[in-house]
Amino acid sequence: MSNLASLKLVGAKAASTASPQTLRRSKVLRQLDEQVLMAQAMLRGETHSSTRTVVVRNKQTGESTTVTRVKRLKQWWFTSDAGKLCVQLRYGNRVLEFSKGKNAVELGSQRDLIPVLETLRSAVASGELDTQIESASAAVRARFTK
């Protein structure tokens, strides 16, 4: 017990987890980082793929193994009917509206794609789109609670 006597023992509680708003914001930030990587690869003439690790259980033996799989990624930019390049911000499969009836950012060229994605990232990080993210999250939750 002499080893423990030399330490300062206290009754401590771990810090509480992040708020749901912070978790939703960080989810969008991770997705935006992935979009920037995809855009950089596109401008270099390459393709970007990301992997994830999953645990797969063999039904016959019951043995679990860890497998690396390629993530399915969907780019958030597209060419509009007017022939302009546009970027939409998504939360899961929901497109976020920046203001009433406006759900995309129009770009002048492909070179503007990365700066616009970084601007959107800073807007999300500063909390400017928290209400839009919250409403998209509520819509997703409502869909799964039925």
- Give the largest CA-CA distance in the chain: 78
Tell me the per-residue pLDDT of 127-143, one tens digit each, with 9 for 90 and over.
999 999 999 998 877 77
91-115: pLDDT as tens digits: 988 999 999 999 999 998 899 999 9
Count of alpha carbons within 13 Å of 52, Cβ hemisphere only?
Answer: 7
- Strand intervals (E) in the chain: 51-57, 64-70, 77-79, 85-87, 90-91, 94-95, 105-107
> Residue 146: its pLDDT value, please?
62
Region 52-75: mean pLDDT is 93
What mean pLDDT value characterizes the chain? 90
**Residue indicated by tokens 């060229």:** 109
Percent above pLDDT 70 for the chain: 99
CB-based contact 51:70 (threshold 8 Å) = yes
Domains of the chain, by residue range, sit at 28-144
Q: How many whole angstroms separate alpha carbon 122 and alpha carbon 54?
A: 31
**Cα(53)–Cα(78) distance, integer angstroms:** 29
Tally Cβ neighbours within 10 Å of residue 23: 11
pLDDT at 53 exceeding the cut of 70: yes
Q: Does the pLDDT at position 1 exceed 60?
A: no
What residues pair up with 24 in beta bridges, in sequence order? Answer: none
35-64 mean pLDDT: 93
73-81 mean pLDDT: 93
